[in-house]
Chains A and B, each alone.
Chain A
Amino acid sequence: MAYKLKEVAKKPERLTGGHRMCAGCGAPVVVRQTLRALKPEDHAVIGAATGCLEVSTFIYPYTAWRDSFIHNAFENSGATVAGAEAAYKAMKRRGKIKDDTKFIAFGGDGGTYDIGLQSLSGAMERGHDMVYVCYDNGAYMNTGIQRSSATPKYADTTTSPAGRKEHGKQQWRKDLTEIMVNHHIPYVAQTAAIGNMKDLYEKAEKAIYTQGPAFLNVLAPCPRGWQYDTPDLMEINKLAIETCFWPLYEVIDGKYIINYKPKNKLPVEEFLKVQGRFKHLFRPGNEQMIEEIQREVDKRWAELITLAEELN
């Protein structure tokens, strides 16, 4: 059946309103659309790493999650959900459970690229039938915007501040999606909530209903950390894709598919200039930093195209 946002949006919400995520935050949009890809009859066990998503959706005695939910700690969303999945397998084999349950772990970039990388890697390598969804907002937002290995170069954060001598984060961001591709798991995708969110929905559906481990890396802008006006969320997502800062692609059993190639690839400046965290780059004399970012974006985009051509 062809994707129709109107139809998909009619599905019951599995993350209800009333939670305390900020207006203009990308994460709940990602979570809601991901969960819409679940078949209505399927139960889900959802895990989340410590982070904004967890502390804003499950404050005792309230929960915004309609499915079963578990939060354990910051760095172990992968292992925790893997453990639940292992219990499911054993209990199903013993006839203690009859219905189908799907397993989804969420983590921010801090809980996924950094402190939770080992736990994630282990869970994926062991082949648990689960999906790990990283909502990547490019810093430790919950603790107050500290740099992570997902933070883009030159972004201003509270631990990589734009100062007089150093101009924001000094290192390039880690490419986690490629790290997960190299785990040779059945399904890896990079996506974002853009337009009618078809790309995100379809990838979530594939990830959830692919047997075995799957990983989604989803861009999730943060109005506090990225410093944009909350209504600009969807526009920023769009610019990330149109500039190829965040390419939409998927790797199915090792086969690369680039889902969107912009006809007119926009300069990365268009993505940077709408965000306060990069405003120091637009001061006179800092042009070379934007050029440097552009070269890196072009290089990574070219590498991706090569991978897609060579491996297909």
Chain B
Amino acid sequence: MSIRERMSGNEATAVAMKQINPDVVAAFPITPSTEVPQYFSTYVADGVVDSEFVAVESEHSALSACVGAQAAGGRAMTATSANGLALMWEILYIAAASRLPIVMACINRALSGPINIHNDHSDSMGARDSGWIQLYSENNQEAYDNMLMAHRIGEHPDVLLPVMVCQDGFITSHAIENIELIEDDKVKAFVGEYKPEMYLLNKDNPIAVGPLDHFTHCFEHKRQQAQGMVNAKKVIMEVAEEFYKISGRKYEFFEEYNADGAEAAIILLNSTAGTAKYVSDKYKAQGKKIAVLKLRVFRPFPADELAEALKKYKAIAIMDKSEGFNAAGGPLFTEVTSAMYAKGVLSPKVINYIYGLGGRDVKTTDIEIVFNKLFEIINTDKVDSVYNYLGVRE
């Protein structure tokens, strides 16, 4: 029997880490992810886990220590937000290129500047090309579930990539909601033992990690790394299938909600999906059908599957909780539309909204503005503005 509990997204993340009981957790405090290492250090202090907790002096050292620990042959985890993730930037790329399946909880927060502690996705979106798998979570349950699946995905021999599990700072990290936890022994059996093929602490087969890699080999290594990300797609679905068996909760690359018969869709990440689903239900009751497409897996980007799913809609709003500053649209917008174009999905009309920056509240009335706009586009068959802002004063 699963365990019914109530807890915040941060605690749910920490509970997942406790059940995983990794070899090393190295982390540095930063709002709103601070609670994760706080909870974890309590587990260490109480002897509930037998991990090493390394209370480093910066996020740069947090991820550097994770690289050392994972290369040594251990399972390493960390948690961070915003500027902390930015300080890790250099090492994000090294961790991925070294094919080290470190797992990180990224509690999304607006990246400075100006300094702001609230939620948007500018931190993890900035790291989208660093070679990490990125899973996004709508609520505490998904944050917990994604965390339990992360090692299985990253450590798969066809993948060997680090995994970032994202959730919205404060909105889900600090909000206490109901959750269904899986029993410790089931989690242990599901996550399994970490058995790397090669690792620093293997005296019988010493290895060297992190070479100077010239033009003679570097390109091949980058190609192999890219293949790991391609392979991750299959593995993510296999792991989700297995996870379904122990949890009854189904996960895919994205979730399509109220899609039946809908002509319009909104695409988004993390907690705003909850708000959008609520408004979608309300509209449905009024006979107006609108689909909510919540993207769970942003890296690898499920381009083919998305394009296939989107071809049935007449109008699509792609929602970015971060700016790309390219004067043309946010990162999710550019990736979704290029996936559609490459697949020849040209009939839906698409618009982009930048929303919720710096934690600006996203209300049901904001979502209604988007939905109404989509219906207007369908009715008029016209898009007057592609690149838009939602909820900003100007």
Contacts and interface: CB of A to CB of B under 8 A. Distances in A.
Given A72-B67, A83-B67, A86-B24, A60 B214 contact: yes
A257 B5 CA distance: 60
B69 A86 contact: yes
Contact of B51 (A63, A81, A83, A90): A90
Contacts of A94: 23, 50
B57 interface: yes
Given A79-B68, A80-B67, A87-B70, 5 more contacts: A70-B71, A72-B94, A73-B94, A84-B68, A86-B23
Interface in B30-71: 50-52, 54-58, 60-62, 64-71
Contacts of B67: 70, 72, 80, 83
Interface of B: 23-24, 26, 50-52, 54-58, 60-62, 64-74, 76, 90-91, 94, 200-203, 206-214, 216-218
Interface of A: 43, 45, 47, 54-55, 58-61, 63, 65-73, 75-76, 78-91, 93-94, 96-97, 99, 101, 118-119, 121-123, 125-126
A60 B213 contact: yes
Given A45-B201, A70-B208, A97-B201, A90 B64 contact: no
A88 B203 CA distance: 12
Contacts of B72: 45, 83-84, 87-88, 91
Contact of B60 (A70, A79, A96): A79
Contact of B203 (A43, A76, A96): A43
A72 B91 contact: yes
A82 B65 CA distance: 6
Contact of B24 (A54, A73, A76, A87): A87
A91 B23 contact: yes
Contact of A87 (B73, B202, B210, B218): B73
B91 to A, nearest CB: 7
Contact of B64 (A43, A83, A96): A83
B209 A43 contact: no
A292 B311 CA distance: 78
26 contacts: A43-B201, A58-B211, A60-B214, A60-B218, A68-B201, A68-B202, A69-B200, A73-B90, A75-B60, A79-B56, A79-B61, A80-B68, A82-B61, A83-B24, A84-B68, A87-B23, A87-B52, A87-B69, A87-B73, A87-B74, A87-B201, A94-B50, A118-B58, A119-B57, A119-B58, A119-B61
B130 to A, nearest CB: 14
A122 B217 CA distance: 35
A90 B74 contact: yes
B151 to A, nearest CB: 15
A199 B200 CA distance: 30
Nearest to A66: B206
Contacts of A93: 50
A80 to B, nearest CB: 4
B212 A80 contact: no
A70 B217 contact: no
Contacts of A81: 68
B203 A101 contact: yes
B107 to A, nearest CB: 22
Contacts of A43: 201, 203, 206
A63 B211 contact: yes
A100 to B, nearest CB: 9
Q: Which interface residue of B51, B61, B214 has the most chain A CB atoms within 10 A?
A: B61
Contacts of A83: 24, 26, 54, 64-70, 72, 76
Nearest to A125: B57
B58 A90 contact: no
A118 B57 contact: yes
B68 A69 contact: no
Nearest to A63: B208
